[in-house]
Structure 1
Amino acid sequence: MSAVTATLIILAIIALGEVFSIISRAKIPTLLVVVVVFFTLLQTGVLPKDILAASTFTVVGAVLQPAILVHMGTLIPLKVMKQQYKAVIITLIGITISCGLMLVAVPIFFDYETAVAGAGPLTGGIIAYLVTAEGLQAQGLTALIAIPAIILSLQQLIGMPISSWMLRRHGLKLLKDMDENKAFVAATIEEETDDETAPEKRKSLFPEKLMESHFFVLFLIFIGSALAVWLGELTSISYSLFGLAIGIIGSAIGFFPDKALERSNGFSIAMVGLIFVVMESLVDVTVADILAVLPAVSAILIIGTFGLLLGGFLGSKLFKWDYNKGVPVVLTAMYGFPGDYLITQEVSRSVGRNKEEEAMILNQLLPPMLMGGFASVSIGSVVIASILVQTL
């Protein structure tokens, strides 16, 4: 099979997942469709096991993985992080308690390695999965790779409905507040929104013309990527941690533009490459392997979700937030963007009685939800997964 044909077939599976996700408004995750369809076609012999190797696209994913980590560090300006510090802290409390519970409770029924296999992916997304899968492969624990793969595919189906239900309850409370003191609430929301969404002029170490060049920005990203990999090899600490730190620091000092990979027009192809890498990790997984880990996956999903709920509740109490707002912020760890945006948008439309109320509710809910997803999926889970795989 030619590389082009192999790539076309895999892209068709990914596109099918996107179609289901768009039609269902992200209720059916793209990755769930991709994993189920790809695994089924492999097991039934419709696709050969070497199709991913034939496509050569997994090399793209492997090369661009450090670049995506650097990119993640450039997503949210430090100013916004400071403004939404409560959402960040509540999220970190939630994922810390969740991971702690999994590491303590799961080994009672299974073993420590099983707990590690699920902890990172449950509190994050595709990067946490890849870090975990790489760690498991390095330690020869390939039989456990099915655990993070299944969790990555199913966690959205748990987190999104709970978040939607709780945010709707909080939205109805906001609506009641608006009815009781509408002028005050409107003024407050407008003031907060103006402060948080006002465009900030990002300083740059390079002339603006250079920063408009896709090739130059991509070159800068790979400088950061190469540095992260080198530091990882030098210190034996996962390069993922260095990639995030380099992205955050580089963005703050003006070495990288904000949303660096998007500015270089490389984000979409990078994410496709990562999905190829995820699919590659499933090639040697069998139906027997999946059946063998289903009890462990169930335990991880139940214990981990309970930990997120508990952490979100305690964090909300700490900052005197309505827990119907704080808990969904933590649950963004299970789905991230664009799920956090779509849920908030749908809740605002369903609760608001007119366009003005929809906008006011959206402006209250969206910033902390986006920040929660960033703090967990983009940073927190990657740090957790990177640390935990070192303990295997």
Structure 2
Amino acid sequence: MSQMLALALLTLILFIGDAVAVRTKAWIPSIFVCAVLFLLGYWTFFPQDIVALAGIPSATATMLMYLLITNMGTLLSLKELKAQWKTIVIALSGIVGVVTVLMSIGVLLFGFKTMVVATPPLVGGLVSSLLMSDAANAAGLSSLAVLGIVIYVIQGFAGYPITSIVLKKEGQRLLKLYQKGELQAKQANSTVEKTEAKTNQSKWKLPEKYNTDFFKFFKLAFVAYLAYLVSTVLAPLVEISPFVLCLLFGVIATSIGFLEKQVLQKANGFGLAILALMLFVLDGLNRATPSMLLELLFPLVGSIVLAIIGMYIFSFIAGKVLKVSKHLAFAVSLTALYGFPADYIITNEVIKSLTDDEEEKAVLTSHMLPPMLVGGFITVTIVSVILAGIFVGFL
């Protein structure tokens, strides 16, 4: 198979996944469709190294992970997170619930190493799944490497419908309060934050004609290199994943204005990075035989069920303490199963289903959307990467 034929087939699969997700309003996630098509391809005519053949070997994927995770750090708005501190506490409590239940009951049922591989993808997304899959492969645990990817593929099926149900209940509660005159729309004010961001960036930013895509890539790569360098210096004292430090260094570099927010998008590299990493993650399915998938079915379903139970119990307790609705608290915790953009899509779909009145939609949006977005950012973008960096050392 030629390189361009391989690339054309793989990008067609990604497009089909997106098309199905759009058509079904994300109820059938694109990653699931892609995974099924990849499996069918590997079981029929795909070469086992089709992703590398298409031009994405492991070294390229690793490089893009450094850039992508550092770019994640640029998304962090300290002011927004401060305003949503209750959401952060609830999101973290849900993750604590997942870790507690899986590393106790889950270990008893499925074994320690299985739960080590399963836990980070269950509170994260693409990056944590890839980290755990690579670590399992390096440890010679090929079936568990597949489990890390399959969990990432399947978990949304549990998260989407449950989130929709609890958000509808929360929306109905908020509408009743609004109709009684006891609730108003929240007004977002980001003027101060935007002014501070411009002041910070003026310290580092070159004149626009020199601020090229290559300069943006250089700054991103330089920050990622600093994170890698610090991880190697600290290695004799403490093992810290360079990817965890990339996230931290991305936040710091953005806070001081060295990196722009979403710098990878502005350098026109985000789409290609996601495409390459998606293909590299799905490439892990080339070892998945039908018998292996049947063998993984019990730990797969069991770990997802246990994770959701842990999320519910701990988010319920946190919601009670912080006086946040149990429905909203549970929905925020569930964002760990899918993250952005599914959290945005589901919330908007629920709001549209509850009312046609524009004022009511605005009220629901102002009270429901910010916590859902922040919850997804905390769980999938930040904590899952940190957790994966820690759990890698257990294999």
Which TM bucket (shorter chain)? over 0.9
Aligned pair count? 385
Q: What corresponds to 1:230 in structure 2?
A: 229
- Percent identity, aligned pairs only? 30
Structure 2 residue 156 is the aligned partner of structure 1 residue 156: yes
Segments of 5+ residues of structure 1 without an aligned counterpart are: none
Counterparts of 2:180 and 2:119, CA distance in 1: 44
Q: Specify the code of the residue in structure 2 equivalent to 1:214.
A: D
Amino acid at match of 1:9: L
Please, which of 359, 362, 368 is the counterpart of residue 362 of structure 2?
Answer: 359
TM-score relative to the length of structure 1: 0.94
2:255 matched to which residue of 1?
252
Question: CA–CA distance in 2 between the matches of 1:212 and 1:329?
Answer: 38
| Aligned counterpart, 1:207 | 205
Task: Give the Cα–Cα distance (whole angstroms) in 2 for the partners of residues 143 and 137 of structure 1.
Answer: 9
The 2-side partners of 1:321 and 1:208 are apart by 45
Q: Which runs of 5+ in 2 are unaligned?
A: none
SS of the equivalent of 1:28 reads coil
State the Cα distance separating 1:305 from its structure 2 match: 1.2
Give yes or no for contact 1:7–1:57 (8 Å, CA) kept in 2: no
> Which stretch shifts more, 330-339 or 134-143?
134-143
Q: Secondary structure at the match of 2:287?
A: coil
More displaced 10-residue stretch of structure 1: 107-116 or 234-243: 234-243
Indicate if the aligned counterparts of 1:62 and 1:273 stay in contact, CA closer than 8 A.
no
TM-score normalised by structure 2 residue count:
0.93
Give the Cα–Cα distance (whole angstroms) in 2 for the partners of residues 27 and 226 of structure 1: 39
Poorly superposed stretches of 4+, deviation over 4 Å: 196-199
Indicate the residue corresponding to 1:266 in structure 2.
269
Contact 1:84 1:371 in 2 (8 A): yes
> Which secondary structure does the structure 1 equivalent of 2:207 belong to?
helix
User: Which residue identity does 1:377 align to in structure 2?
Assistant: V
Bigger shift: residues 248-257 or 221-230: 221-230
Q: Aligned Cα RMSD in Å?
A: 1.6
Distance 1:344 1:152 in 2: 21
Q: Is residue 205–residue 258 contact of structure 2 (8 Å, CA) maintained in 1?
A: no
CA distance in 2, matches of 1:60, 1:266: 14
Name the amino acid aligned to 1:220.
K
Q: Structure 1 stretch 88-97 or stretch 48-57: which is displaced more?
A: 48-57
Map residues 135-214 of structure 1 onto 2, 5 A cutoff.
Answer: 135-181=135-181, 185-186=183-184, 189=185, 192-195=186-189, 200-201=194-195, 202=197, 203-204=200-201, 205-207=203-205, 209-210=207-208, 212-214=211-213
The offset of 1:228, in angstroms, is 2.3
Q: What corresponds to 1:52 in structure 2?
A: 51
The one-letter amino acid of 2:160's match is M
Q: What one-letter code is carried by the residue in structure 2 that aligns with 1:194?
A: A
Q: Say if 1:82 and 1:215 are closer, same or farther in 2 by CA, change over 3 A.
A: same
1:381 maps to: 384
Q: Specify the alignment match of 2:84 in structure 1.
A: 84
- d(CA) in 1 for partners of 2:190 and 2:155? 30
Corresponding position: 1:335 with 2:338? yes
